[in-house]
Amino acid sequence: MHLMSAMNAIPAIHVAIVGAGPSGFYAAEALLRSGLPVRVDMIERLPTPFGLVRSGVAPDHPKLKQAILVYDRIARTPSFNFFGNVQVGRDVTVAELRATHHAVVFACGAETDRRMGIPGEDLPRSHTATEFVGWFNGHPDYRDRTFDLGQETVAIVGQGNVAADVCRILAKPVDELRSTDIAEHALDALARSRVREIHVIGRRGPVQAKFTTKELRELGEIAGCATLADAADLALNAESETELRDRNNLNGPGNFALFRAFAARKPAVGQRAIRFRFHLSPVTLVGDGQVEKLILTRNRLEGPPFAQVARPTDEPVELDCGLVFRSIGYRGVAIPGLPFDDMLGTVPHTGGRVLDGAATLPGLYVTGWLKRGPTGIIGTNRADSVETVESLLADLSKGCDREKRGAEAVGELLERRGIRVFDYQNWSMLDTAEIARGKPKGKPREKFTRIDEMLAASTGRGNEAGRSFGSALEKTCRAMARS
Amino acid sequence: MPHVVTDNCHLCRFTECVAVCPVECFHADKERTYIDPEVCIDCSACIPACPVRAIYEVIDMPDDQRHWIEINAERARALPVVYAKQEPLPTAAARRAQLGF
């Protein structure tokens, strides 16, 4: 194997992975499965690993969270180190990681969201799906957000699965959420919710809605809630008919059949209602100091099948509502020290190698949503990370003669800076504590939602003691070998 | 409910499904793949990945494919996990064309 012979001079390949979500773990897996002597050091800004599987997947979808079992197994392999509570850019720089590791893989995801770009977007009571989902999932960044759930009418702009999650958590009877891992502060707020009518608004038609049929069907099955659609919106143009008939159209036909069924429903007294609205784009949010009304424009569809574009007409539509969520896509955040494509919200790359203009930057790689944009689901990241790691290993096989110190060097650096590293043993203790707190409440876990509480709940040095002993021992051995 | 690999995998064995499975629930023999229903988390990543649409969620299965539910469960128990994408069978291209994909 080329890489083996190129590596004769060094005992191990040290790779740093920035970000502990699915794409980071699948990159770790691909590296550890390569058969080469790789040491993987995963650096994560939160004390808790697992990215959106922990803080994005909805609490009432617990099965999807079982992906964590795979990540846990990876994290427990001996050549894997977890550096939680460490932020690249603030606590350690990209340049420093390039010095301590043979390669750095960025798997930081897409932490912010796309804006609608309309007046009034930042008014109180205008929110993003990102913050609402983070809030009900107990993400520390969103712990103190508040949402006026006393409002009866809510508008969600967007018709993808994240919009479906926001809608479902607002629409479900709160008792159905009590036995999930939803954050306590969210459960309390939802128990007092007066939300009655939720408009889920898309700029194109029912055939173009991005829901997977499974998620849309689930909305239609919420107890005490009627899902409704306007028959007028279901009159299709020829291009949409063509899209519907296409064999490769996975969700269109199922979705359209569901919307048809919704159009035949009637709202019942006392029931919540979810109204699917189509061919509408938001133009302005208005209100006296906070959102009171959403002004939209009616669209018509133009273009060929599978490239139908919404074009505004002059027909304004008004919706009185006091709470708005935009759910039109997550967006990546620039990392200090890395190139960034501001239009796409991604790091430019070729096959996962980071690009600066036309040149690849040696030793720097990207995977996951930061690489390809916020598309796909958990498993999509697996194939993606395999591609990035293939590029990485191919590059290393062309020349890997420099010995690096990896985890030991980063550990020393962080200790000098007084950074409290949260290692995997710390996470295990926190995990156990969350599960124990959830038991008396009939919940799978009660999450910690503040960083200082997480750090306090898991005192004890975990692997730190073992590592400092190991490095002291190694120093002694090397000193002895030199003399 | 779990996902199931049905008829179309036969003579293909593309294993594009394996590449996108987040939980390594695919098992295989020399001819085709099978999903372990105990491990599958219903994420549906595999459904669009299969070039010949061989995978269905149980709720969406055509009646004439339902016997595959039991076969997947049995064969997955007896066969090893496939961790990475592999070369399709030599008959795959022809079979794909014949199926109209």
Nearest by CB: A382 against B20, B48, B100? B20
Cα B39 to Cα A73: distance, rounded to the nearest angstrom: 14
Quote the ipTM score: 0.91
Residues A286-311 pLDDT 10s: 999 999 999 999 999 999 999 999 99
Q: Please tell me whether residues A169 and A304 are part of one structural domain.
A: yes
Q: How far is B71 from chain A (nearest CA, A)?
A: 23
Contact A380 B45 (CB under 8 A): yes
Q: Give the residue from A26, A211, A377 with the most B CB atoms within 10 Å of its CB, the best one to mutate.
A: A377
Q: Please tell me whether residues A91 and A236 are part of one structural domain.
A: no
Contact B45 A67 (CB under 8 A): no
Q: Does position A479 have pLDDT exceeding 60, yes or no?
A: no
Which residues on chain B are in Cβ contact (under 8 Å) with A22?
22
Q: Give the residue from A34, A52, A53, A66 with the most B CB atoms within 10 Å of its CB, the best one to mutate.
A: A66
Cα A203 to Cα A299: distance, rounded to the nearest angstrom: 7
Contact B43 A70 (CB under 8 A): no
Q: Please tell me whether residues A351 and A369 are part of one structural domain.
A: yes
pLDDT of residue A380: 94
pLDDT of residue A7: 57
Q: Please tell me whether residues A196 and A277 are part of one structural domain.
A: yes
Residues A180-211 pLDDT 10s: 999 999 999 999 999 999 999 999 999 999 99
pLDDT of residue A402: 86
For residue B53, give the chain A residue with the closest CA. A248
Beta sheet of A309-320, edge-to-edge order: A280-286, A293-302, A309-320
Contact pairs from chain A to chain B, CB under 8 Å:
53
| CATH code: domain of residue B26 | 3.30.70.20
B73 assigned to some structural domain: yes
Rg (CA), chain A: 25
Q: Which of A285, A310, A330 is the last residue of a domain?
A: A330
Residues A374-401 pLDDT 10s: 998 999 999 999 999 999 999 998 877 6
Residues A399-433 pLDDT 10s: 776 899 999 999 999 999 999 999 999 999 999 99
Residues A96-111 pLDDT 10s: 999 999 999 999 999 9
Nearest by CB: A63 against B42, B45, B84? B42
For A411-466, give the DSSP string: HHHHHHTT---B-HHHHHHHHHHHHHHHGGGT-S-----SHHHHHHHT-S-THHHH
Q: Which of A330, A359, A382 is the last residue of a domain?
A: A330
Q: Please tell me whether residues A154 and A180 are part of one structural domain.
A: yes
Band (A268; pLDDT cuts 50, 70, 90)? confident
Q: Please tell me whether residues A299 and A352 are part of one structural domain.
A: no
> Which whole number is the average pLDDT over B40-46?
94
β-strand partners of A360 = A355
Residues A306-320 pLDDT 10s: 999 999 998 999 999
pLDDT of residue A460: 55
Which residues on chain A are in Cβ contact (under 8 Å) with B22?
22, 26, 67, 70, 378-379, 381-382
Q: Give the residue from A258, A378, A390 with the most B CB atoms within 10 Å of its CB, the best one to mutate.
A: A378
B74 touches chain A (CB under 8 A): no
Which string of b and e fits A270-308 if b means at least 16 CB within 10 Å? eebbbbbbbbbbbbbbebeeebbbbbbbbbebeeebeeb
Report CA torsion sign: B20, B24, B25, B29.
positive
| CATH code: domain of residue A378 | 3.40.50.720
How many domains does chain B fold into? 1
Cα A74 to Cα A152: distance, rounded to the nearest angstrom: 46
> Which whole number is the average pLDDT over A273-277?
98
Band (A373; pLDDT cuts 50, 70, 90)? very high
Q: Does position A160 have pLDDT exceeding 90, yes or no?
A: yes
Nearest by CB: B19 against A22, A254, A383? A383
Q: Does position A252 have pLDDT exceeding 60, yes or no?
A: yes
B14 assigned to some structural domain: yes
pLDDT of residue A471: 43
B19 touches chain A (CB under 8 A): yes
Q: Does position A461 have pLDDT exceeding 80, yes or no?
A: no
Contact A250 B84 (CB under 8 A): no
- Spell out the residues 6+ positions from residue A12 whose beta carbon is closer than 8 angstroms to its own: A37, A38, A39, A406
B99 touches chain A (CB under 8 A): no
Interface of A with B in 30-69 (CB under 8 A): 33, 63-64, 66-67, 69
Whole-number Cα distances in Å, A197 to A156, A209, A272: 11, 20, 6
Q: Please tell me whether residues A272 and A338 are part of one structural domain.
A: no
Contact A214 B44 (CB under 8 A): yes
Q: Does position A10 have pLDDT exceeding 80, yes or no?
A: no
Q: Please tell me whether residues A18 and A60 are part of one structural domain.
A: yes
Mean pLDDT estimate for chain A: 93
A380 touches chain B (CB under 8 A): yes
Q: How far is A482 from chain B (nearest CA, A)?
A: 44
Cα A234 to Cα A206: distance, rounded to the nearest angstrom: 7
Beta sheet of A103-106, edge-to-edge order: A80-84, A38-44, A13-18, A103-106, A359-366, A353-356, A349-350
Which residues on chain A are in Cβ contact (under 8 Å) with B60?
254
Contact A382 B46 (CB under 8 A): no
- Which tokens go with A42? 């995963």
Nearest by CB: B21 against A247, A376, A382? A382
Neighbours of A478 (CB within 10 A): 10
B74 assigned to some structural domain: yes
Question: 3-class DSSP state for residue A264?
Answer: coil
Note down the domain range covering B29.
Answer: 3-84
Q: Are strands A153-157 and A197-201 parallel, antiparallel or unpaired?
A: parallel
Rounded to the nearest 10 degrees, what angle do helices A406-416 and A463-482 cross at? 110
Task: Pick the more confident residue, A471 or A58.
Answer: A58
Band (A9; pLDDT cuts 50, 70, 90)? low
Band (A470; pLDDT cuts 50, 70, 90)? very low
B70 touches chain A (CB under 8 A): no
pLDDT of residue A248: 87
Q: Please tell me whether residues A58 and A119 are part of one structural domain.
A: no
> Which whole number is the average pLDDT over A443-456?
97
Band (A247; pLDDT cuts 50, 70, 90)? confident
pLDDT of residue A400: 73
> Which whole number is the average pLDDT over A444-450?
98
The fraction of chain A above a pLDDT of 90, given in percent, is 88
Which residues on chain A are in Cβ contact (under 8 Å) with B46?
379
Residue A284: enclosing H or E segment and its boundaries? strand A280-286
How many domains does chain A fold into? 2
B22 touches chain A (CB under 8 A): yes
- Which tokens go with A18? 């920035």
| CATH code: domain of residue A260 | 3.50.50.60
Note down the domain range covering A57.
Answer: 2-111+332-482
Band (A2; pLDDT cuts 50, 70, 90)? low
pLDDT of residue A3: 59
pLDDT of residue A143: 98
Nearest by CB: A379 against B21, B57, B85? B21
Residue carrying the six token digits 């799906």: A129
B5 touches chain A (CB under 8 A): no
Mean pLDDT estimate for chain B: 95
Residues A66-86 pLDDT 10s: 999 999 999 999 999 999 999
Q: Give the residue from A214, A221, A250 with the most B CB atoms within 10 Å of its CB, the best one to mutate.
A: A214
Q: Please tell me whether residues A260 and A120 are part of one structural domain.
A: yes
Q: Which of A330, A352, A374 is the last residue of a domain?
A: A330
pLDDT of residue A458: 84
Cα A228 to Cα A225: distance, rounded to the nearest angstrom: 10
Q: Give the residue from A372, A382, A384, A393 with the most B CB atoms within 10 Å of its CB, the best one to mutate.
A: A382
Contact B23 A382 (CB under 8 A): no
Q: How far is B41 from chain A (nearest CA, A)?
A: 5
Residues A129-151 pLDDT 10s: 999 999 999 999 999 999 999 99
Q: Please tell me whether residues A286 and A357 are part of one structural domain.
A: no
Task: Pick the more confident residue, A410 or A458.
Answer: A410
Q: Please tell me whether residues A129 and A99 are part of one structural domain.
A: no
Q: Does position B13 have pLDDT exceeding 70, yes or no?
A: yes
B89 assigned to some structural domain: no
Which residues on chain B are in Cβ contact (under 8 Å) with A381?
22
A379 touches chain B (CB under 8 A): yes
